[in-house]
Amino acid sequence: MAEQLFLYGVYSIQVRSLELQGARWDAEYEIRHRDHAVQVWTTVGGDAGYESETDAIEAAHQQAVADIEHGAGIPKPRTFP
């Protein structure tokens, strides 16, 4: 699966899958604002990974949204929803 792009408010979340051994998957995400990274690539999945590529991508997307919602060092613009 190619790199996917999700929009969340003024942020874009880029997610790409990583194939592990034994048909397991991890994914990594980067959060960007105006073409500048505000959070560098972060991997989710760990040693066991996920059973499907779709599960890994969804988990990375959810973690990125949670990072934005809870701050995680990401500056929120004044016009954030």
pTM value? Answer: 0.84
Instruction: Show me where the domains of the chain are located.
Output: 4-69
pLDDT at 29 (0 to 100): 96
CATH number of 4-69: 3.30.160
- Long-range (24+ apart) CB contacts under 8 A made by 65-72 are 65/8, 65/13, 67/31, 67/39, 67/42, 68/8, 68/9, 68/11, 68/31, 72/39
pLDDT at 76 (0 to 100): 66
pLDDT at 30 (0 to 100): 95
pLDDT at 72 (0 to 100): 66
* pLDDT band (50, 70, 90) for residue 21: confident
pLDDT tens-place string over residues 29-67:
999 988 888 888 999 998 789 999 999 999 999 999 999
